[in-house]
Structure formats: structure tokens, C-alpha cells
């Protein structure tokens, strides 16, 4: 079965540079989520998009922005990179699954992009 | 606010023995609970979820989890552990609202000894 695709898998940047991470959701999935996992940490939710509109916002720094495109892929743009941004960045996707008034989707995660800021 | 606690950083089990990885949660409203497994330098793999219905949820690779509302717990279990089950396990909760992010526990390292 097709999975979530993330590119690049590894990225090395200098401080104050910019980076763009890409995510291609599972076919027919309409929702994309971004997470950041620091070394030895649990994943922290950054932001999500449903049908190309921002849906929920977590602990995403103002230096980061993201969007979802018409083909449902998403990009996470990171500017003025800091040493502390070094982490594994996961994208997850899901398909809207309603159970009454609320969503009950399962989020499927990609392999992640390992960002190293020097 | 919602939260998840995994009280054990590490669990050691002999191969062939039953295993339990503990998780407790705190949410307002109905809980939507998940277990994921992470192998070194890999993404998170979905194991199982509890939305509603039977308190015993069966998932992938022979894992199951028991939802206990009175104890606000969602412990992961497997009757007979395999060495290949050694990995990092995360419990997560979802508010069930919009496209909300998951809130994860700190993770539990499961080590299966041959």
C-alpha cells in the first residue's frame, strides 16, 4: 500500500538559512499534519491542513510556515534556522472519517526528514 | 487540555512472556486513543486505536489494548513477546474535534530479551 512520502530524507543547513520540507500524503487523503521530534523527545504537533485550509495550530514557531496545495501535498517552510531546530520532522496524513460530529481519523506517518542545523 | 502519561521509560520482558506497556490519559470529553511504534531512525507506525465500543481493541502484529474508563488507562498488551517487538512505543490522544494534532506520551522503550 502507498505510504506518506517525505522529501528530502536528510537535510543539512547553516544557522540563519532557510529550508523547505515536502510531504506527499497517501492517495485520497485530504488532511496533512506536521510534527517535530527532537532527540529523545516525543513528537510535537506543529500544524495541520484540511482541504487546503489551515485546520489546527500547535507549537509552530513564527519563523515556520506551511501550506497545502491543490494536489494535497504540503510544504513546511522554515526560515532563520536555529541550532534548536535540528530534529526529525514528520508529516502524517489522514482521510476525513466522521463519527457523529467529530473526526476519528487515523493519522499515518511518513518516514520523516532529519534536519541538522550547523 | 489533554495529556498522556507513560509512567515507564523502559520495560524489559523475556521473549515468549506476556508484555504490558502502560498509558494513562486526561481529556475533557470522549477520549480517542492511539498506540504507535517507532523503530530506530524510522517513522511512527500505527498499531491500534480506541474510538468507541469494545474496551479490548485488537491491532497489528498481535498487539491489543484495553481501555479502562474508570482508571483512565489504555495499556498495550501482547500475550507472547518477540525479540522483534523491541522498539519505542508511544501512546497518543486526540480530542476528536477537527484535524487536531495528536498529543503523545514521552514514549516507552520496550526491550525483549532472548
B95's grid cell:
480530542
Q: Over the Cα atoms of chain B, what is R_g?
A: 14
> How far apart are the CA of A92 and the nearest CA of chain B, in angstroms?
9
Confidence at residue B15, expressed as pLDDT on a 0 to 100 scale: 98
Q: Is B42 within 8 Å of A33 when comparing Cβ atoms?
A: no
Q: Does the structure show a pLDDT above 80 at B23?
A: yes
Confidence at residue B96, expressed as pLDDT on a 0 to 100 scale: 65
> How far apart are the CA of B26 and the nearest CA of chain A, in angstroms?
17
Average confidence (pLDDT) over A12-39: 96
Instruction: Please tell me whether residue B30 adopts helix, strand or coil conformation.
Output: coil
Contacts of B41 in chain A (CB under 8 A): 114
Contacts of B99 in chain A (CB under 8 A): 31, 33, 48-50, 55-56, 94, 103, 105
Distance between CA atoms of B105 and A57, rounded to whole angstroms?
19
Domains annotated for chain B, with CATH where assigned, are 3-113 (2.60.40.10)
Mean pLDDT, rounded, of chain A: 93
> How far apart are the CA of B54 and the nearest CA of chain A, in angstroms?
16
Residue A118 lies inside a defined structural domain of this protein? no
What count of residues does chain A have?
A: 118
Would you say A83 and A15 are in contact if contact means Cβ atoms under 8 Å apart? yes
- CA-nearest of A7, A9, A3, A19 to A117 is A19
Contacts of B103 in chain A (CB under 8 A): 45
Given A45, A47, A111, which is nearest B102 (Cβ)?
A: A45
Q: Is B96 within 8 Å of A112 when comparing Cβ atoms?
A: no
Residue A66 lies in domain: 5-11+18-98+105-112
DSSP state of A105: P
Using the Cα atoms of residue A56, residue A88, residue B90 and residue A110 in order, give the sign of their dihedral.
positive
- Which regions of A1-118 does DSSP assign to beta strands (E)? 5-7, 10-13, 19-24, 31-37, 44-50, 53-57, 64-68, 74-78, 87-94, 98-99, 102-103, 108-109, 113-117
Contacts of A76 in chain B (CB under 8 A): none
Residue A117 lies inside a defined structural domain of this protein? no
Confidence at residue A31, expressed as pLDDT on a 0 to 100 scale: 93
pLDDT in tens, A62-106: 999 999 999 999 999 999 999 999 999 999 999 987 766 667 789
Provide the CATH number for the domain around residue A46: 2.60.40.10
Chain B: residue nearest A58 by CA? B101
Average confidence (pLDDT) over A4-28: 97
**Strand order from edge to edge, sheet including A19-24:** A5-7, A19-24, A74-78, A64-68
Q: How many interchain CB pairs under 8 A, A with B?
A: 74
pLDDT in tens, B39-92: 987 889 999 999 888 899 999 999 999 999 999 999 999 999 999 999 999 999
A89's grid cell:
520532522
Residue A80 lies inside a defined structural domain of this protein? yes
Chain A: residue nearest B49 by CA? A106
Chain A: residue nearest B42 by CA? A111
Residue A52 lies inside a defined structural domain of this protein? yes
Count structural domains, chain A.
1
Q: Which of A95-104, B27-36, B92-101 has the highest mean pLDDT?
A: B27-36
Amino acid at each position: 500500500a502507498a505510504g506518506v512520502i517525505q522529501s528530502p530524507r536528510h537535510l543539512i543547513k547553516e544557522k540563519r538559512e532557510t529550508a523547505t520540507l515536502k510531504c506527499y500524503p497517501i492517495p485520497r487523503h485530504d488532511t496533512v499534519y506536521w510534527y517535530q521530534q527532537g532527540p529523545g523527545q516525543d513528537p510535537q504537533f506543529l500544524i495541520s491542513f484540511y482541504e487546503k485550509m489551515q485546520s489546527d495550530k500547535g507549537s509552530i514557531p513564527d519563523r515556520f510556515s506551511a501550506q497545502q496545495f491543490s494536489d494535497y501535498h504540503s510544504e513546511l517552510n522554515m526560515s532563520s534556522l536555529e541550532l534548536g531546530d535540528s530534529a526529525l520532522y514528520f508529516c502524517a496524513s489522514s482521510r476525513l472519517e466522521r463519527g457523529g460530529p467529530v473526526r476519528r481519523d487515523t493519522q499515518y506517518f511518513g518516514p520523516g526528514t532529519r534536519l541538522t542545523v550547523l | 487540555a489533554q495529556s498522556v502519561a507513560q509512567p515507564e521509560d523502559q520495560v524489559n520482558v523475556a521473549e515468549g512472556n506476556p508484555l504490558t506497556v502502560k498509558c494513562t490519559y486526561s481529556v475533557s470529553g470522549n477520549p480517542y486513543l492511539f498506540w504507535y511504534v517507532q523503530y530506530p531512525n524510522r517513522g511512527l507506525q500505527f498499531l491500534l486505536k480506541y474510538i468507541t465500543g469494545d474496551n479490548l481493541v485488537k491491532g497489528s502484529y498481535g498487539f491489543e489494548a484495553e481501555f479502562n474508563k474508570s482508571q483512565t488507562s489504555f495499556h498495550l498488551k501482547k500475550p507472547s513477546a518477540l525479540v522483534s517487538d523491541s522498539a519505542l512505543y508511544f501512546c497518543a490522544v486526540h480530542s476528536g474535534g477537527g484535524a487536531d494534532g495528536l498529543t503523545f506520551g514521552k514514549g516507552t522503550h520496550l526491550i525483549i530479551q532472548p
